[in-house]
Structure 1
Amino acid sequence: MSFFGKLFGRKAAALTYDQVADLIDGTGGSRFAGATVTAKTALQVSTVLACVKVIADGCATPKLHVYREDSAGRRQKAANIPEYRLLARRPNEWQTSLEWRRQMTIHAALTGTGLSIKVRGDNRRVRELIPVQPGSWTVTRTSRYELLYRCWDEFGLIGEFSPDDVFLLNGIQWDWTQSLNAIALARSAIGLAMVTEQSQAAMHENGLRPSGTYSVEGSLNDEQHGRLTKWIKAQAGARNAGTPMVLDRAAKWMSTAISGVDAQHVETRRLQIEEICRIYGVFPIMVGHSDKSATFASSEAFFAAHVKHTLAPWHEAWTQRIDEMLLDGSGPLFAEFDTRYMTEGSMVARSQWARTMAEMGIYTRNEIRDEEGKDPLPGLDEPLTPMNMTSGQQKGKTDETAADA
């Protein structure tokens, strides 16, 4: 028997890696309002799941391209480098680009940081990116400006890595070594949402019958009290809702609990949806919650604002990390999300915009084709010039040509 077993008089139970991680790195969160708020339990709250999912999908569904900028400042897809396929198609043996980006974003949105281990080839270029679960890695300062990352899984220690050997996606940071844990910061709002759902579920489980006092005339001995308590529990529950209760000995039922209406469950749950959305910076309409004042026109404005105010910071966090930590840093390579499908208007609005931009000479026709995701065509690289909008210099040349004639 181990030391702890001798100390407590029983055999000590082995802890799982998740339990150890909850104890040592803070991803386990804490208790609030009687509920344990962790990254896993928080995902059981529908609003948290919806907020995290809408952010993760917004970073996973747009196509991720790697471009190379030439000497003239024009960009072209760098499809001939291994990093292009790594990021756009298959970052590791088991996941697609969408699955890996979604998982990393979920880790960052919930716990503050998503981490993947870089697997390098013989030429030191990154061949794979292996994600590590939150709680299965730690970061330690070995000196003032040096860090060491230690990763493990259910089979044991994976290894110790330098910052150059891991890829990080950070959320909001207070310290440059670690990000703020969103679940720990939002535990009050998430915990209240959890206990509100649990209390309402308990009411439905009890057939919406509040607790109360069952009183009879005379005194009860232990056996009678036990039988009566067992009988009352058998009559309760949703399955017995509406069943009449036959009482004897002048029994009376006195309710001691407030109803669901008095407890304002609907108002509380609506407020918690808005509060959790506020924490994640997600518009409530994006998680399927809207009030009666929302119209189709306002919904379209909310969708556009979601891309600008919610997804844009995450996209910038992704691309800057990729540029500096996976590509060549200050070189000509850079990554970019293709979010045109998120911001494009109706077919009528797009056709009017394309025609105006082409006729005014602001965009070339091939640039407009590029905006629509089409390949360029020969002869469409020169901007059009409207006949009634020539410059003064061009007009003078035209007059001189007409005089010579």
Structure 2
Amino acid sequence: MKLLNLFRAKTTPEAQSRPQASVGQLFDGLDDPDLLAFMRNGGGTASGAYVTASKALQNMALLRCVTLISESIGMLPLNLIERGDEKKYATTHPLYRLLKSRPNQWQTAYEFKSLMQLRLLLHGNAYARIIRSRDQIIQLIPIDPALVTPKLDDQWNMQYHYQRKNGETLILPASEIFHLRDLSDDGIVGLSRVKLAREAIGIALQAEKAAARLFKNGVMAGGALSSPDKLSDEAYTKLQASVEAKAGADNAGRWMILEEGLKAEQFANTAADAQHIENRNHQIEEIARAMGVPRPLLMMDDTSWGSGIEQLGIFFVQYSLQHWFTVWEQATERSLLTPEECGKYFIKFNERALLRGTLKDQADFFTKALGSGGQQPFMTANQVRELLDMSKDKSKHADELGTPLIKDKNVTTNPAKN
């Protein structure tokens, strides 16, 4: 009888848990890139948050990290420089204008570099289609990283499979793609920092949701009025009117007159509230650590501002941006210069724009660069003027290194003329 019961149709459905779609995961349509990422990765984290590149940017700590790095890369000049003793800008080369001012028909150099760096930080890869005319690069067209798959063929040549909007796949050689990649475990595809840190980001997003729910549904009263006896209707009405009359910023700090034995009891922050704030601060540290940005630049530490701001800026350039400078410089030389041109030119960011310091610091540096105090000069007058965005001095010796100036008491002499 029990064996037959195994095959007998059940007339009443059992009450059992069934897998349900995650509540609150909305997509703009079938072409939403978040939908594709959700289908590929499952979308979830241990914290229950759904983390993709666009969702992650809703966290303020990550948004600050990404915008800080992307804007810094976008505003710094990326120069094409001729090799040799003079090392002057290659202004006559078509690539100089492309990197300096106009990479394509609708973007400025700042917008192009910021967008590429943003995608590089979020996806681990950034791509741009190289458009040539008569063997000269005339445009760099950004491509969505979700539509590009880099692969190595059997001859160890890099190929890029680009999926067009009509669904067609276009196979492009490495000579037609400008590829920026973050750290990689295979040398082909860069690792996405958002994916690697998605658990930390997920916890941060859930902590923000918890804080939002507290403001929406939690009791935000500052205290309570208690009475040993039940209040009469008249006393309750008077008390309610008195409380409402004392509300607002203009009445902050004023005392209330209590009647009928009422006692005021102020609510204090609980240990759970303090732990919630501590957890949120810890997640900010985790995100800052993943993106390589110092905590003070996320507006976390007031004590690091003031006299330490100069050292903080140097730290940010050396340990946060220098990695990205190298990625950009070597990728542009690999993809945008021919092997013959690599022997004549090199590409470099001008990071001095972030390290200028105060006017006093600049004045001290430039006087030493020109040979003040008996030091061997290493800059000409026109090189100093160029760094200050000033027009060139057309005098005879403005492009020549001077001789060390020795300061003797109140008289400055040039030993070469004595």
Amino acid across the alignment from 2:48 = G
1:65 is aligned, of 69, 79, 96, to: 79
Amino acid across the alignment from 1:55 = I
Measure how far apart 1:76 and its partner are: 1.7
Matched, 1:120 2:132: yes
Amino acid across the alignment from 2:59 = V
Give the 3 Å change call, closer, same or farther, for CA 19–387 of structure 1 in structure 2: closer
The answer to whether the 8 A contact 1:29-1:184 is kept is no
1:356 is aligned, of 359, 368, 374, to: 368
Measure how far apart 1:327 and its partner are: 2.0
Aligned to 1:48: 62
Measure how far apart 1:387 and its partner are: 6.6
Using the size of structure 2 for normalisation, the TM-score is 0.72
Measure how far apart 1:135 and its partner are: 1.2
Aligned to 2:4: none
Query: SS at 1:76's partner residue?
Result: coil
Measure how far apart 1:119 and its partner are: 1.4
Give the 3 Å change call, closer, same or farther, for CA 179–398 of structure 1 in structure 2: closer
Deviations along 1:348-377, whole A, 9 cap, x unmatched?
Answer: 222122223323332232333333333442
Matched, 1:33 2:47: yes
Provide the C-alpha distance between the structure 1 equivalents of 2:279 and 2:155, rounded to a whole number of angstroms.
Answer: 47
Provide the C-alpha distance between the structure 2 equivalents of 1:101 and 1:348, rounded to a whole number of angstroms.
Answer: 31
Give the 3 Å change call, closer, same or farther, for CA 102–177 of structure 1 in structure 2: same
Measure how far apart 1:99 and its partner are: 0.7
Query: SS at 1:126's partner residue?
Result: strand
Give the 3 Å change call, closer, same or farther, for CA 198–259 of structure 1 in structure 2: farther
Greater Cα shift, 196-205 or 377-386: 377-386
Deviations along 1:220-258, whole A, 9 cap, x unmatched?
Answer: xxxxxxxxxxxxxxxxxxxxxx9xxxxxxxxxxxxxxx9
Provide the C-alpha distance between the structure 1 equivalents of 2:296 and 2:120, rounded to a whole number of angstroms.
Answer: 22
Aligned to 2:113: 101
Provide the C-alpha distance between the structure 1 equivalents of 2:104 and 2:400, rounded to a whole number of angstroms.
Answer: 43
Deviations along 1:176-233, whole A, 9 cap, x unmatched?
Answer: 11111211110111011000000111111103479xxxxxxxxxxxxxxxxxxxxxxx
Aligned to 2:356: 344
The answer to whether the 8 A contact 2:34-2:54 is kept is no
Provide the C-alpha distance between the structure 2 equivalents of 1:138 and 1:23, rounded to a whole number of angstroms.
Answer: 18
2:158 is aligned, of 128, 147, 151, to: 147
Give the 3 Å change call, closer, same or farther, for CA 152–299 of structure 1 in structure 2: same
Q: Kindly report the root-mean-square deviation, in angstroms, between the aligned alpha carbons of the 2 structures.
A: 2.9
2:385 is aligned, of 340, 365, 369, to: 369
Give the 3 Å change call, closer, same or farther, for CA 153–103 of structure 1 in structure 2: farther
Give the 3 Å change call, closer, same or farther, for CA 205–382 of structure 1 in structure 2: same
Across the two proteins, how many residue pairs are aligned to each other? 329
The answer to whether the 8 A contact 1:25-1:138 is kept is no
Give the 3 Å change call, closer, same or farther, for CA 386–48 of structure 1 in structure 2: closer
The answer to whether the 8 A contact 2:377-2:403 is kept is no
Amino acid across the alignment from 1:86 = L
Measure how far apart 1:133 and its partner are: 1.3
2:323 is aligned, of 313, 332, 336, to: 313
Aligned ranges 1:61-210 → 2 under 5 Å: 61-70=75-84, 73-121=85-133, 123-143=134-154, 145-157=156-168, 159-208=170-219
Provide the C-alpha distance between the structure 1 equivalents of 2:279 and 2:108, rounded to a whole number of angstroms.
Answer: 40
Give the 3 Å change call, closer, same or farther, for CA 384–146 of structure 1 in structure 2: closer
Provide the C-alpha distance between the structure 2 equivalents of 1:307 and 1:62, rounded to a whole number of angstroms.
Answer: 12
Aligned to 1:254: none
Aligned ranges 1:204-283 → 2 under 5 Å: 204-208=215-219, 261-262=272-273, 264-283=275-294
Could you tell me which runs of 5 or more consecutive residues in structure 2 were left unpaired when the two chains were aligned: 1-28, 222-246, 248-268, 408-414
Using the size of structure 1 for normalisation, the TM-score is 0.74
The answer to whether the 8 A contact 2:66-2:118 is kept is yes
The answer to whether the 8 A contact 2:377-2:404 is kept is no
Provide the C-alpha distance between the structure 2 equivalents of 1:15 and 1:93, rounded to a whole number of angstroms.
Answer: 30
Provide the C-alpha distance between the structure 2 equivalents of 1:260 and 1:103, rounded to a whole number of angstroms.
Answer: 43
Give the 3 Å change call, closer, same or farther, for CA 111–30 of structure 1 in structure 2: farther
Matched, 1:18 2:30: no
Query: SS at 1:167's partner residue?
Result: strand
Query: SS at 1:336's partner residue?
Result: strand
Provide the C-alpha distance between the structure 1 equivalents of 2:303 and 2:112, rounded to a whole number of angstroms.
Answer: 38
Amino acid across the alignment from 1:22 = A
Give the 3 Å change call, closer, same or farther, for CA 129–295 of structure 1 in structure 2: closer
The answer to whether the 8 A contact 1:29-1:183 is kept is no
The answer to whether the 8 A contact 1:104-1:114 is kept is yes
Amino acid across the alignment from 2:212 = A
Amino acid across the alignment from 1:126 = I
Measure how far apart 1:388 and its partner are: 5.8
1:322 is aligned, of 319, 332, 346, to: 332
Give the 3 Å change call, closer, same or farther, for CA 41–17 of structure 1 in structure 2: closer
Percent identity at matched positions? 27
Greater Cα shift, 351-360 or 167-176: 351-360
Query: SS at 1:199's partner residue?
Result: helix
